[in-house]
Structure 1
């Protein structure tokens, strides 16, 4: 395989890489999904969904850590899928499918952050639906401009953004002790844990939302070609990020449950703003909202940074349009890929709604990226047991196997229309690969030989 990281600068330290991971993970996600999560679980037992999401992040993080340490190159899963399946036709098809779905779902992730930002902004100022779309689009443009610089500058900006994010969470959790009501936080109805199909459907749908809030623990793998000492720092960054964010999310959810009845939480469009307003006053609620908006913009910053490396990796490897392989001559970053992602994300932010975007993002990625990658790790271990592994997951193969089960549980708990849509995108990608791309590659190989 071509060395796709050759033109990139390994300028990100462990602190900077972890900061990028964490601001990617937080974003607007937990602040807009809490009402959905509490409503789906119908009470304080919603904490189970946060715990299951954290467990899945740790398990899947083990897979990403092993692969990221072994192949620390730009592109993350694109590189992993091709290598763990032995650089075979199947592996190349899986890599293509990853890029295929990325050019759709990555702009959806960008759009979700921008849409969430504009929705939360309406707590501070009244905006019409059209004005909200204008704000979403403007934010995507602004973040694209901020990312148009070298990776070392971005690393410094990321640390500052994480300080704001982490400080906001600590303020949120610490404030909860002012008027904490243990009855609201820890009292469960008599049927709260009845293991009926309805319970598991609710848990699956709630976990889908918590997983959305945890996504980003692997962003460091997309930036593998720009991480210092990646064999050690990629696994460290992933596990530090997941552990730190899990503690913050659980603390946040418990404190909010202790501040107001779960029915009020489930019905709130601005649950964090309402939380601070109730504990302090309306002015403090507005300050908290402003900080949430900064966090949302920070997440969009990290998301676009990581995803812009996937088309670049594929193009440099000859599996995507060549123009995406271009690196800025002085700033050393894949500027064409970044501009493309920003452009499509801008359009999507004008077209879609938050709730449908979140579900589409998760269901679209489960089969090819998360399950395909975990199955691939098992295959790689058993097919090539003597391969070099700078980091090897603990208790192999349990993390990968349990992770696959949880991913499939989340997938089949989703509305059928999203499952069908994800399957349709994959099948269309298979058709394009087998009927267009593969014959072209075989023809080129025949000419060379």
Structure 2
């Protein structure tokens, strides 16, 4: 008979590759167009990428304290439960299980299929079937076991960095076509500085999205107290450097007006640097990058409904907490996640699928940042192998940045924010139904 305890198989390298592999995905290639569209300025674009990296690192440093003090599978939903109670933790798990992870898997699968069709000049009618095949293949890899999925994550991380490295090195060495004013933080176009910068920041933060998910596998790490903080700090710091430098190369190679709104900007840059062959290399790099990110979201997303099901807090918990006797993987949770993602592929586009819950996810991130202060006061005796450096400055920076994002999102795109809140709120009656049933 299968056991419900997950094996501790993930090492520091596996956790590091999960952080970087999940974060470095479609965003580094596709979000440059959106950021430049909002800023119309090279200097402000680069500042947005740098500032988003700074905020993400502050958030990572803050949440790492919770992750090591509460190293349980399910990650953030358990930190929220310990601090605020079961309803808020259920709502986070609900949002992640029903929308967040499946939507990201669906969106990344669609992007993978889109790039695959572009590379091999196929008909667009194959888009959704190819996207579904991609998602099925990644889920299949994860069903083979955590160690295999982590190895795939490490492999794709190494491969995906190669085209980025080639573009960066060639772009820095070759004379630029455009002079980039790094210190000029003025905004172009008709946007006000605050609205333009906040929209650009939100776009960059999507590119950094995924850093929080490594906490989901803390319960399967060999040394979470030691390895998890290092993985988050080193992983996010490296990602921030990669993002800033490659965007500098974009802006040095192409004028801002040729990048704004141009989803093929990275290919155009490669064509400028290497000719037509460069464009195909970049497309191949994008395929590998997206596949690695898809694997990261699949691997971490499976653990969320499983963690809730272990305590009979989720619909169909009896089935979702089943683990394969051979591979020790929550296979029903994996299949359920795949089915929801495939349904989403038929209903939405990349932006529709990924933008809806960004506001909600940052709302929960704010709760996590505040949780560090609350638990320090409420439970000073709690074992904390790692503590946030420069406390309380670093958590306060994370909270101020998050607050700015939430307020500006409500002002500039209230429909998006309210939709995210509404979808999450559906989980409230579900929670009370499950509680009554229990």
State whether residues 114 and 137 of structure 1, in contact with CA within 8 Å, keep that contact through their aligned partners in structure 2: yes
Distance 2:393 2:312 in 1: 35
Match of 1:445 in 2: none
State whether residues 35 and 266 of structure 1, in contact with CA within 8 Å, keep that contact through their aligned partners in structure 2: yes
Within 5 Å, give how 1:326-365 maps onto structure 2.
326-365=322-361
Pairwise CA distance, 1:232:
0.8
Match of 1:283 in 2: 277
Distance 2:367 2:114 in 1: 34
Match of 2:61 in 1: 62
Q: 1:72 to 1:146 in 2, by over 3 A?
A: same
Distance 1:38 1:167 in 2: 24
State whether residues 72 and 218 of structure 2, in contact with CA within 8 Å, keep that contact through their aligned partners in structure 1: yes
Within 5 Å, give how 1:147-296 maps onto structure 2.
147-181=142-176, 183-186=178-181, 191-192=186-187, 198-296=192-290
Q: 1:177 to 1:376 in 2, by over 3 A?
A: closer
Match of 2:13 in 1: 15
Give the one of 100, 123, 133 matched to 1:105.
Answer: 100
Within 5 Å, give how 1:363-378 maps onto structure 2.
363-367=359-363, 369-378=364-373
Pairwise CA distance, 1:171:
1.1
Give the one of 143, 146, 170 matched to 2:141.
Answer: 146
Match of 1:446 in 2: none
TM-score when scaled to structure 1? 0.90
Pairwise CA distance, 1:169:
1.9
The one-character-per-residue Cα deviations of 1:66-114 (angstroms, maximum 9, x if unpaired) are 11111222111111111123xxxxx101111011111212111112211
Q: 1:190 to 1:14 in 2, by over 3 A?
A: closer
Match of 2:434 in 1: 437
Distance 1:359 1:59 in 2: 23
State whether residues 316 and 325 of structure 1, in contact with CA within 8 Å, keep that contact through their aligned partners in structure 2: yes
Distance 1:36 1:167 in 2: 24
Does 1:391 pair with 2:386? Answer: yes
Pairwise CA distance, 1:298:
1.0
Distance 2:185 2:93 in 1: 47
Within 5 Å, give how 1:70-149 maps onto structure 2.
70-85=69-84, 91-102=85-96, 103-149=98-144
Q: Name the stretch that deviates more: 407-416 or 125-134.
A: 125-134
Pairwise CA distance, 1:251:
0.7
State whether residues 131 and 345 of structure 2, in contact with CA within 8 Å, keep that contact through their aligned partners in structure 1: yes
Q: 1:190 to 1:78 in 2, by over 3 A?
A: closer
The one-character-per-residue Cα deviations of 1:315-355 (angstroms, maximum 9, x if unpaired) are 01221222111111011111111111111112112221112
Q: 1:267 to 1:94 in 2, by over 3 A?
A: closer
**Matched position secondary structure for 1:413:** helix
The one-character-per-residue Cα deviations of 1:179-225 (angstroms, maximum 9, x if unpaired) are 3427432278795399x972111111111111111122233211112
The one-character-per-residue Cα deviations of 1:272-310 (angstroms, maximum 9, x if unpaired) are 111111111112211221121111011101110001101
Which 5+ residue runs of structure 2 have no aligned equivalent?
none
Q: 1:382 to 1:188 in 2, by over 3 A?
A: closer
State whether residues 180 and 255 of structure 1, in contact with CA within 8 Å, keep that contact through their aligned partners in structure 2: no
Match of 2:303 in 1: 309
How many residue pairs get matched? 429
Match of 1:32 in 2: 30
**Matched position secondary structure for 2:180:** helix
Aligned CA RMSD, in angstroms, stands at 2.1
Distance 2:55 2:130 in 1: 34
Distance 2:283 2:191 in 1: 37
State whether residues 12 and 152 of structure 1, in contact with CA within 8 Å, keep that contact through their aligned partners in structure 2: yes
Pairwise CA distance, 1:153:
2.1
Pairwise CA distance, 1:21:
1.4
Q: 1:206 to 1:403 in 2, by over 3 A?
A: same
**Matched position secondary structure for 2:194:** helix
State whether residues 95 and 424 of structure 2, in contact with CA within 8 Å, keep that contact through their aligned partners in structure 1: yes
